[in-house]
Amino acid sequence: MRRRESVNGCGDERMLHRLVPHVRSILPRPRNLGQCARMTMILKDARLLSEGGGLRFSAIVNGVQRDAFVVRFRGELFAYVNTCRHQSLALDFGDARFFDEAFDAIVCCQHGARYRPETGECFAGPCLGARLTPLAVAVRDGAIWWVPPGRSP
């Protein structure tokens, strides 16, 4: 008998493990569960994200849905979990504005922590030396995609 595949391309057991937490005690844990997630389109036309622009999206990080963002800095895309390392608050006011006026740092709107766009490292502010949680993004067929951990773009 052939095993039916779920809508996301993974087996039924993997789908159950994610949707119904209490079945973990009933079913054996499937291998490579994190590799089931498919890439998610963030923006259909990457050209719409201008230099210094930002875009919010949701991503699954360690099994938890988190707010995230992608910015364009010096022509490259950088994506992070939208959580300041100082007090676990969103970096923006919900408007996807992450840069300061000089467009040289990602700035937390709450307490002014300043992060390097290329690395996510805090170089000024209350969480000096801490880093934002990076996320992988890719441009494919002109669109921006979030790439889950364990997947290749």
pLDDT of residue 51: 95
- State residue 38's pLDDT score: 85
Phi-psi region of 129 (alpha: psi -120 to 50; beta: other; left: phi over 0): left
Rounded (5°) CA angle 136-46-85 = 40
Give the HSE-up count for residue 46: Cα atoms under 13 Å, Cβ half-sphere: 18
| pLDDT at residue 11, rounded to an integer | 38
What pLDDT, on a 0 to 100 scale, did the predictor assign at position 151? 74
pLDDT along the chain (153 residues), means of 10: 35 40 42 57 96 95 94 97 93 94 94 95 95 96 92 71
Where exactly are the structural domains of the chain? 1-36, 40-147
CATH number of 40-147: 2.102.10.10
